[in-house]
């Protein structure tokens, strides 16, 4: 029996074609990322800036395994509607009130697809004179032709499929799944 068969109530009758990263694999990789990030910032103020909504599960696990003091804030940018294809439009809906100037900013994203969202945000955040700006993404599809700033910390290379779970949604469903899965057609 699948270890996830008790999660059928979360699937809304949809099937997933396969699990891409199971919960234990994610937990182990997140712990590694936490250590890497801790070592990368020996001093200075660190602000972990989560891109909502997709990064909320990853971010909450990640900040608890970064072994140094940090602060947390969020950004809301919306790039997709209820579609599995990017509209190409990126809107900034919520802007962090925290001062960015003089701080190390670590922007946390769930998945990098076309890279449009990050390109737009990197431009906006750089204008606020952070001490440094880096990107941490749980998943990277490696489809972005031109990233203004390459992600310094990446959890997993992602297949070129539509993924859900561990914060990632399809039309707001599936965010609570404890694993990352490919959505069947
Ligand atoms: P980009 O701007 O094309 O790089 O798209 C990034 C955003 O699109 C991510 O923050 C996700 O919210 C969403 N996204 C891209 N690919 C997927 C996917 O496979 N599943 C769920 N959301 C995705
Ligand atoms: Mg999304």
The catalytic residue positions are 113
Mean pLDDT of the chain: 88
pLDDT at residue 80 tops 70: no
Cα 86–182–57 angle (5° rounding)?
Answer: 80
Average pLDDT, stretch 131-153?
94
Beta carbon of 86 within 6 Å of any ligand 1 atom: yes
Tell me, what's the pLDDT at 172? Answer: 93
For strand 46-52 and strand 104-112, is the pairing parallel, antiparallel, or unpaired?
parallel
Nearest ligand by distance to the CA of 89: 1
pTM: 0.90
Q: CB of 84 within 8 A of CB of 160?
A: no
* Percent of residues, the chain, with pLDDT higher than 90: 66
Cα 163–164–170 angle (5° rounding)?
Answer: 100
pLDDT, tens digit, for every residue of 1-60? 455 656 666 676 677 778 999 999 999 999 999 999 999 999 999 999 999 999 999 999
Beta carbon of 111 within 6 Å of any ligand 1 atom: yes
Q: Which atom of ligand 1 is nearest to the CA of 144?
A: 4
pLDDT, tens digit, for every residue of 111-127? 999 998 899 889 889 98
Residue 132, SS3 per DSSP: strand
Say how far apart CA 156 and CA 137 lie, in whole Å: 8
The residue contributing the CA closest to ligand 1 atom 3 is 114
For strand 132-140 and strand 46-52, is the pairing parallel, antiparallel, or unpaired?
unpaired
Beta carbon of 138 within 6 Å of any ligand 1 atom: no
Tell me, what's the pLDDT at 136? Answer: 98
């Amino acid at each position: 029996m699948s270890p996830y068969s008790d999660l059928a109530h979360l699937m809304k009758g949809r099937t997933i074609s396969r699990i891409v990263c199971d919960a234990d694999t994610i937990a182990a990789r997140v712990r590694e990322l936490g250590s890497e990030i801790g070592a990368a910032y020996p001093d200075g103020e660190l602000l972990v800036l989560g891109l909502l909504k997709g990064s909320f599960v990853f971010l909450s696990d990640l900040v608890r395994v970064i072994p140094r003091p940090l602060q947390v804030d969020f950004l809301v940018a919306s790039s997709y509607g209820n579609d599995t294809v990017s509209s190409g439009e990126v809107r900034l809906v919520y802007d962090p009130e925290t001062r960015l100037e003089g701080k190390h900013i670590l922007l946390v994203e769930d998945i990098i697809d076309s890279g449009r969202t990050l390109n737009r945000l990197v431009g906006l955040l750089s204008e606020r004179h952070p001490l440094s700006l880096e990107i941490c993404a749980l998943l990277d599809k490696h489809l972005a032709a031109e990233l203004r700033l390459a992600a310094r910390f990446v959890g997993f290379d992602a297949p070129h499929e539509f993924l859900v779970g561990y914060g990632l949604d399809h039309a707001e469903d599936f965010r609570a799944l404890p694993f990352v899965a490919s959505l069947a057609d």
